[in-house]
C-alpha cells in the first residue's frame, strides 16, 4: 500500500520563515526493503505473538515528478 500524507501533515513537515507552506508536492511512498518479524506481546499473564512488517527502506515519488514523467511520455507519442 502507498502512504499519501495529507496536506496538513505535509505542511507540518516544512516550516517556511515563521509560517507553514500550504501547498506542496504529493508524496507517495511504498516499502522497498522490508522483513516480517514475530514480536512477543505480554498481555496480562499471557504472551501473544504478533507478526509485524519492519520497513527498512522506502521508495517515494512526488506528484511533481509524476507530472513531469507524464509530460515526457505524452511528448514521445
Of 40 and 17, more confident: 40
What distance in Å separates the CA atoms of residue 16 and residue 11, rounded to the nearest whole number?
Answer: 9
pLDDT recorded at residue 5: 55
Residues 45-73 pLDDT 10s: 999 999 999 989 988 887 764 455 556 65
C-alpha cell at 24: 506542496
Please say if the pLDDT value at position 13 is more than 70: no
Residues ≥6 apart with Cβ < 8 Å to 30:
1, 2, 3, 58, 59, 60
pLDDT recorded at residue 77: 61
Please say if the pLDDT value at position 20 is more than 50: no
Query: What average pLDDT does this structure show over 37-44?
Result: 93
pTM of the model: 0.41
Do 32 and 59 meet the contact criterion of CB atoms below 8 Å apart?
A: yes
Amino acid at each position: 500500500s502507498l502512504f499519501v500524507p495529507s496536506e496538513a501533515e505535509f505542511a507540518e513537515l516544512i516550516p517556511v520563515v515563521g509560517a507553514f507552506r500550504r501547498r506542496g508536492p504529493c508524496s507517495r511512498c511504498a516499502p522497498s526493503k522490508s522483513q516480517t518479524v514475530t514480536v512477543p506481546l505480554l498481555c496480562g499473564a499471557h504472551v501473544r505473538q504478533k507478526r509485524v512488517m519492519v520497513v527498512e527502506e522506502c521508495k517515494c515519488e512526488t506528484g511533481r515528478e509524476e507530472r513531469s514523467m507524464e509530460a515526457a511520455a505524452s511528448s514521445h507519442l
